[in-house]
Chains A and B, each alone.
Chain A
Amino acid sequence: EAGVAQSPRYKIIEKRQSVAFWCNPISGHATLYWYQQILGQGPKLLIQFQNNGVVDDSQLPKDRFSAERLKGVDSTLKIQPAKLEDSAVYLCASSLSTDEKLFFGSGTQLSVL
């Protein structure tokens, strides 16, 4: 079975620029998550979708981050404008339903200069 696909793999931008990340979850997985992982730390939840509805975005910096999951499948996470502290790996994960194990993509490593 195909895993969670993410692109791009790496991205380097300058502060105040914008960037977008894409995620394609495992087919049939209703729940999709975006996590931010700063070097040396564990993943931190940014947003959780159930189908195409938002379940939890309490930790998403909404002044600069936005995410959508159109048609309950693919998802896009956007940062505009980026700050230096946004340098991190952005991980997308999906699960069959809530309270299940997560399947992660390989992540997008973002460097903001």
Chain B
Amino acid sequence: SQKIEQNSEALNIQEGKTATLTCNYTNYSPAYLQWYRQDPGRGPVFLLLIRENEKEKRKERLKVTFDTTLKQSLFHITASQPADSATYLCALGKGAGRALTFGSGTRLQVQP
């Protein structure tokens, strides 16, 4: 069956360091992958979209990679700040109008 795996354990890092979050998937052929940020009591907020024919995407301090051979996406936040503390969700899209399938998310805690 289709599976999307994100680290269930929280990631704790020091301010200024680079945070790297992992999203692995099995039995899935996504046309694109999206990353969202979710704060407690709020809905997810879109961050980045990367398509299957793209290796890397950047936006300010954020970088996403997509390796369809390894079936993995990495999400990086450089020069992390305490305000980056949140849960980060990856979501896979098959395209052709199909809805996104979300992973369970990884909680990031940036210590000042």
Which residues of A are at the interface with B, using a C-beta cutoff of 8 A? 4, 33, 35, 40-45, 48, 50, 55-56, 91, 93, 98-99, 101-107
A98 nearest CB across to chain B (Å): 4
Provide the bound-state CA to CA distance between A113 and B31, in Å. 41
Cβ distance B85 to chain A, nearest Cβ, rounded Å = 17
Residues of B within 8 A of A102 (CB): 34, 36, 44, 46, 100
Q: Given A33-B99, A56-B98, check contact A42 B89 (CB 8 Å).
A: yes
Chain B interface residues (CB < 8 Å from chain A): 4, 6, 31-32, 34, 36, 41-46, 49, 89, 91, 93, 95-105
List the A side residues contacting B46 at CB < 8 Å. Answer: 101-103
B41 — which chain A residues lie within 8 A by C-beta?
A: 106
Decide: B104 and A41 in contact? CB cutoff 8 A. yes
**B contact residues around A91 at 8 Å (CB):** 43-44
- 8 residue pairs of the A-B complex, CB under 8 angstroms, read A33-B99, A43-B89, A55-B97, A91-B43, A99-B95, A99-B97, A102-B46, A104-B45
Instruction: Find out whether the CB atom of B44 lies under 8 angstroms from the CB atom of A104.
Output: yes
Shortest CB-to-CB span from A4 to chain B, Å, is 7
Q: A102–B89 Cα gap in the complex (Å)?
A: 13
Nearest CB on A from B22, distance (A): 15
Contact of A99 among B32, B42, B101, B103 (CB under 8 A): B32
Q: How far is the CB of A21 from chain B (nearest CB, A)?
A: 13
Cβ–Cβ < 8 Å partners of B99 in chain A: 33, 45, 48, 55-56
A42:B93 contact, CB within 8 angstroms: no
Please give me the residue from chain A that is nearest to B105 by CB atom: A42
Using A4-B43, A50-B97 as known contacts, say yes or no to A40 and B104 having CB atoms under 8 A apart: yes
Nearest Cβ distance between residue A24 and chain B, in whole angstroms?
A: 14
Candidates B43, B49, B101; contact of A101 at CB < 8 Å: B49
**B residues less than 8 Å from A48 (CB atoms):** 99
Q: Which residue of B lies closest to A97 (CB)?
A: B97
